[in-house]
Amino acid sequence: MNRTMATRLTGMYFSVAIGLGMLGGSLAVAATPPKPTISEDARAAVAQMGKTLLAKEFSLRARTIRAYANENGVLLHIGHDFKITVRRPDRLLIDVDGDDGPRKLFYDGKTVALALDAGGSQYATLPVPDTITMMMHVVMGRFGLDFPLADFLTDAPDKAFLFDVRSGREVNKVTIDGVPCVHLVFSQPPGIELELWLEADRGVPRRLIVIDNDSPGKPNFIAEMSDWDFSVHSADADFAFAPPSGAKEMDFGAALSEQHAGAPQ
């Protein structure tokens, strides 16, 4: 899994970059890569982010814009509005609305359920492992399904974000919505550039920009994150999907194919 997601994914999902090698996969390399040149201040800021995001429970909102190529190869952009709720180690709820309609993903520690519309009249389910990280590993590795802001939801957010990053530094300090933040920039071969803004005190992400310089049109992804809440106390029922009467259950792979086919052109 890498950050070259901007031109190939549709619907509610995108990949920021989960290193499957970290999660139990294996990566073959021809030679030992050069040692990363990440400044101490940038590494410390990302480490603080990692500690903060290992909280037992939290929720956030994210507004995203990402590029996609239409049937004629024209690079266009699509917007989504996410509400994400996490309860570690084994609960996740993703509620999204966007230019291509509403969807929800439920993870209850045993099963992933994907509701393909607001009412859940079409849905798909899949048995998965009992942690958020390994659930994402199975769903992404087997079905190519990508999770919103995936790095930040793993059990090692700092390591996931820095996976395969070769350089990074702090640019400056800025203010976002009245909150002091540090502005960081990173590069990931062969041509990925990342900018990340973290709150100076808590280390939570407030903005992320990814640019893929090696793909036609240099597609980009932009996320603005807000409403971080570490005081939520979600019940088990919040992460469980109950299909309405008459709902149609689809094969998980077929549901994803239909979702991709339905993306705006």
Q: Which two tokens stand for residue 41?
A: 């201040």
What pLDDT sits at residue 23?
41
Domain count, the chain: 1
Distance, CA of 35 to CA of 102 (rounded, Å): 43
What pLDDT sits at residue 260?
56
Q: Who's near 133: CB < 8 A, 6+ residues apart? A: 23, 154, 155, 156
Domain membership flag for residue 102: yes
Helix axes 252-261, 132-143, angle to 10 degrees: 70
Domain membership flag for residue 77: yes
Q: What is the pLDDT of residues 226-250, one digit of tens each?
A: 999 999 999 999 999 999 999 999 9
Domain membership flag for residue 203: yes
Domain membership flag for residue 143: yes
Domain membership flag for residue 22: no
Domain membership flag for residue 31: no
CATH code of the domain covering residue 123 = 2.50.20.10
Domain membership flag for residue 99: yes
The answer on pLDDT for 140 being more than 70 is: yes
Domain membership flag for residue 104: yes
In which domain, by residue range, is 82 found? 45-241+249-258
| Average pLDDT estimate for 31-49 | 89
